[in-house]
Amino acid sequence: MSTQTGAAPPPALEVQGLTKRFGGFVALDGVSLAVPEGSITGLIGPNGAGKSTLFATVAGFLPPGGGRVLLRGRDVTGAPPWRLHAAGLVRTFQIPRPFARLTVAENLAVAAPGQEGERLPLPWFARGRIREQERALRRRAMQVLERLDLAAHADRPASALSGGQKKLLEIGRALMSGADLILLDEPAAGVNRTLLRAIAETIARLNREDGITFLVIEHDLDLVAELCEPVHCMAEGRVIASGRMAEVRADPAVAEAYLGMALLPDAAP
């Protein structure tokens, strides 16, 4: 049910008081945040703040302890990942998880929704129709690979890609899903400057041209400042600040969360 009143459309994603415990450890301690429709929303915070746990819980990979997840106003709390995928919400992984023995093009093709060729016994009896669909799927996968500058690698096994290219493959799979809300987990971590620029521009363009809404976890704060608005900062399982990047950066709670972490290594003699 919509929590919005009047004509304002509900946010693409709204998280209300989400909790998640692992034994005695509270990973999410009542997280509430919104991802406005059409935005590139940033999610920052020191390591261990619960950002990736939030992604996993929102995307259906972990059952939530409590709270609600609303996708465009519809309650999808605890829905499995494949339901959310069909509803247009997908996530990527911080450490890329390619299907190693599938080709790059196959990696993308897998992620396409609603494939008739996946429903037995259709692939046995409707082979002509499936082949036609496969050709169309291949064309779409190649288009996505062109955009990501991976087309030359289409028929190589995904395991042969470099670390940075695997990051792009993660994004490519998300795009193939046709999702309009993509949760990106550190899309630029561990990639060189050139690739980082390319990834940033790709995200901005997909947002601008295709109208895809993003929620992005990223540690590169300059990149976040450039791409994201609004920005949420998490620490110890809670959202401690939200707003424009300049505001969040100026928030003393944010400075403390980051400084507290930064000072730790120096505390030892």
Residue 222 binds to other proteins (criterion: CB under 8 A): no
Residue with Cβ nearer other proteins (85 or 238): 85
Alpha helices, DSSP H, located in the chain: 51-58, 81-86, 104-110, 122-125, 127-147, 163-176, 193-210, 221-227, 245-250, 252-267
Residues 176-215 binding other proteins (CB under 8 A) are 177
To other proteins, the closest distance from the beta carbon of 129 in angstroms equals: 12
To other proteins, the closest distance from the beta carbon of 213 in angstroms equals: 17
Residue 143 binds to other proteins (criterion: CB under 8 A): no
Residue with Cβ nearer other proteins (99 or 258): 99
Distance between CA 42 and CA 45 in Å, rounded?
10
Stretch that binds other proteins, among 44-52, 92-100, 205-213, 251-259 (CB under 8 A): 92-100
Distance between CA 240 and CA 248 in Å, rounded?
9
Residue 120 binds to other proteins (criterion: CB under 8 A): yes
The answer to whether the CB of 196 falls within 8 A of the CB of 136 is: no
Q: Out of 15, 18, 71, 105, which residue is the one contacting other proteins (CB under 8 A)?
A: 105
Residue 128 binds to other proteins (criterion: CB under 8 A): no
CB count in 10 Å sphere of residue 10: 18
Q: Is the peptide bond before 230 cis (omega within 30 degrees of 0)?
A: yes
Residue 167 binds to other proteins (criterion: CB under 8 A): no
Using only the alpha carbons of the chain, give its radius of gyration.
20
Stretch that binds other proteins, among 152-160, 210-218, 219-227, 261-269 (CB under 8 A): 152-160
To other proteins, the closest distance from the beta carbon of 189 in angstroms equals: 17
Q: Which residues pair with 47 in a beta bridge?
A: none
Residue 81 binds to other proteins (criterion: CB under 8 A): yes
The answer to whether the CB of 16 falls within 8 A of the CB of 68 is: yes
Residue 62 binds to other proteins (criterion: CB under 8 A): no
Residue with Cβ nearer other proteins (132 or 201): 132
Residue with Cβ nearer other proteins (130 or 257): 130
What H or E segment, with its residue span, contains residue 89? Answer: strand 89-91
Task: Identify the burial level of 69 via C-beta atoms within 10 angstroms of its C-beta, where 0-12 means exposed, 13-18 middle and 19 or more buried.
Answer: buried
Q: Which residues, 6+ apart, have CB-to-CB distance to 12 below 8 Å?
A: 35, 36, 37, 38, 39, 71, 72, 180, 181, 213
Residue 151 binds to other proteins (criterion: CB under 8 A): no
Stretch that binds other proteins, among 39-47, 115-123, 221-229, 232-240 (CB under 8 A): 115-123
Q: Out of 49, 57, 76, 106, which residue is the one contacting other proteins (CB under 8 A)?
A: 106
Binding site for other proteins (CB under 8 A): 59-61, 80-82, 85-86, 90-93, 97-103, 105-107, 109-111, 113, 115-120, 123-124, 127, 130-131, 133-135, 137-138, 154-155, 157, 173, 177
